[in-house]
Amino acid sequence: MAIKDDVFALLERPIADLGYELIEVTYQKLYGNMTLTLYIDCDKEGGVGLDDCEKVSRFVDPILDEADPTKGAMYHLNVSSPGLDRPIKTERDFVKKQGTEVEVGLYAPLNGSKKVVGILTAWDEHTVTITAKGKEIKLNKKDIAVIKPVIVF
């Protein structure tokens, strides 16, 4: 298993017990150093803030030190919010974004376009349904490259 997968399995439950959801873990070289990034989310008004990231970082640091997922290799620990426009991936994401406008990127064109924008209305294990221009469009998840919320400023 990859380091990022090991870390996700190690920290998902402890972070949940702390009141946050571990969304994703990355382990990659950034600016010449290996960086382990934990993306967290929560249900509080305003979402994840700097204090939340610091709290989670301090909480997981001793757990990571003891487990040593990098087998002694040095790394920087980064805890971050996934951002407003993060891709919709988990069941929780779909529930939170139901009824909102989303942009769906497709691997292959549908009716001449690789992008569909509409309201997220339904989903299941294999499909996602959006309503665009008054028409319901059912898409196979295997044909979807990315689904993101539409952010209007």
Predicted pLDDT of residue 92? 81
DSSP label of 114: E
Contact 36, 27 (CB under 8 A): yes
Label residue 32 left, alpha or beta by phi (over 0 means left) and psi (-120 to 50 means alpha). left
Predicted pLDDT of residue 12? 96
Domain boundaries, the chain: 3-80, 91-149
Confidence of residue 89 (pLDDT cuts 50, 70, 90): confident
As a whole number of angstroms, the distance between CA 105 and CA 143 comes to 9
* CATH topology for the 91-149 domain: SH3 type barrels. (2.30.30)
Predicted pLDDT of residue 151? 86
DSSP label of 100: S
Predicted pLDDT of residue 93? 85
Looking at domain 3-80, its CATH architecture is 2-Layer Sandwich (3.30)
Report the chain's terminal Cα–Cα distance, integer Å.
41
Q: Is the pLDDT of residue 153 over 80?
A: no
| Tokens linked to 119 | 């309201």
Nearest CA-CA partner of 121 in 142, 143, 136, 111: 136
Q: Please compute the mean of the pLDDT values over residues 71-91 and round it to a whole number.
A: 89
